[in-house]
Amino acid sequence: MGQNVKPFENKVWLSSPTMHGEELQFVKEAIETNWVSTVGKNINELEKMVANYVGVKEAVALSSGTSAIHMAVKLAALKAYNTMTGTGDGKGGSLYGKKVFCSDMTFDATVNPVVYEGGTPIFIDTNKEDWNMAPKALEKAIEMYPEVKILVIAHLYGVPADMEQIVKICKKHNILIVEDAAEALGAYCYIDGKKKMAGALGDYNAISFNGNKIVTGSSGGMFLTDSIEDANKVRKWSTQARENAPWYQHEELGYNYRMSNIIAGIARGNMLHIDEHIAQKKAIYERYKEGFKVLPVIMNPFDSKKVEPNYWLSAMIIDKKAMGEQVRGEKQALYKTEQGKTTPTEILEKISSINAEGRPIWKPMHMQPLYRENPFITVNGNGRANSNAYIAGEGADVGEDIFERGLCLPSDNKMTEEEQDRIIEVIKNCFK
């Protein structure tokens, strides 16, 4: 039980879609005019709106954020290596035999497209200061793998990574940046004093309209760029790569990745409310921060001089001294209750007991069974096998530590202050 805190009648979600009315109007219009396939006004308008909002020249609406990242990765491979996906003669994907630097603490959709193309992700450890890729670990990785030409970077929970540093490092070493801004639409950062939006920070950029994102189409995603040639390539590849011929003529491998005009109607209506959603999420973050002042925890951190998040998810991390014992297997977790201490597992259980939804931090990719063979680089170099039975001290693994001690809090923008107060109370009780 939630230590005598009354459960909610209606579940408080981690982050659920918020519809306003315009979504239905645009979908209705599409159906009434019979524009229900992958062309139509909703797609055109959504692309214009997002390109304007983010400050890029071109936007291509796709079926998911993952497909947008896939297209971005393929373009990066074409530019870096002049390779395309092979067709069964043993050539494999466009990244076959190539290594790619990737964010480590993220959703696996950030890195899977590298593997779709036959590449090998090399995971770069996380920054304590913003829970994103650590520029120092990236520099270490470049020393170890100077041949790498592509980097895929995500902005965790709506906090932009330290792109000023990352872009500088990548420019110096001729590395192309694929930006996964799936969680960060509306967030921005400063590069050489200039404000730049997430989704415009890489050479190839992707956002998501998944149901839990700050703006949703129920699903969907978008590829963003300043290059008309790249945008046109993605328009072609995402609609089965037809050549200009009277019949279906194919010289390149195609995909069925375009967004439907129905989904675009939902996203178009929802996009009208992005600033309102961000303001609500920011208020939730600040209310948690205030409520937790007395606790040995900190909220997911960022440097307000460098970035302004979209506050998509509020998350917290328990101070080491207040961290109870917790053991996590591949699928289950156990913890010990101890006075004055708690664990993410206990807090998530208690949140769930009052009918609210929290979530563990993204389990870092280098800890995933799928990627256990892949290199993982920390600020000290190789992050694998970095302890020694005969020498005291451990190698730094920031991502693992944040995963151990952190958790995502219910961050739904429809949550009332009263509901949030109850969640804060339940969490405070865990430390008693």
Ligand X SMILES: Cc1ncc(COP(=O)(O)O)c(C=O)c1O
Interacting residue ranges for ligand X, rule: CB under 6 A:
64-66, 106-107, 109-110, 154, 180, 182-183, 208, 210, 221
Q: Which is nearer to ligand X, 66 or 413 (CB)?
A: 66
Least gap, CB of 155 to ligand X (angstroms): 8
- Tally of CB atoms within 10 A around 162: 23
Per the listing, tokens 């995933």 go with 368
CB of 270 to ligand X, least distance (A): 14
3-state DSSP call for residue 185? coil
The Cα–Cα gap between 375 and 383 comes to 8
Quick one: 70 or 405, whose CB is closer to ligand X? 70
Q: Give the DSSP H or E segment for 274.
A: helix 274-291
Q: Minimal distance in Å, beta carbon 69 to ligand X?
A: 6
Encoded tokens for 112: 């899977």
- Minimum CB separation of residue 5 from ligand X in Å reads 30
Least CB distance from residue 142 to ligand X, whole Å? 23
Give least dist CB 222 to ligand X, A. Answer: 9
Bridge partners of 197, per DSSP, are 188
Closest CA to 110 of 227, 2, 205, 30: 205
Looking at the Cβ atoms of 54 and 109, the one nearer to ligand X is 109
Which stretch of DSSP H or E encloses residue 163?
A: helix 163-172
Would you call 409 helix, strand, or coil by DSSP?
Answer: coil
Strand partners, 188: 197, 308
- By C-beta, is 7 or 211 nearer to ligand X? 211
Give residue 127's identity as a one-letter amino acid code.
N
Task: Give the residue with the Cβ less far from ligand X, 148 or 156.
Answer: 156
Structure tokens belonging to residue 64:
């998911």
Pick the closer one to ligand X by CB: 54 or 430: 54
Residues 199, 185 contacting (CB under 8 angstroms): yes
For residue 288, what are its two tokens? Answer: 């948690």
Smallest distance, ligand X to C-beta of residue 421, A: 28
Residue number, 5 or 59, with CB nearest to ligand X = 59
Residue nearest to ligand X (CB): 65
Do the beta carbons of residue 417 and residue 287 sit within 8 Å? yes
What is the nearest approach in angstroms of ligand X to the Cβ of residue 221? 5
CA angle 393, 341, 6 (to 5 degrees): 145
Q: Which is nearer to ligand X, 65 or 199 (CB)?
A: 65
Query: Across the chain, which distance is largest between two alpha carbons, in Å?
Result: 74
DSSP state of 256: B
Distance CA 22, CA 29 (A): 10
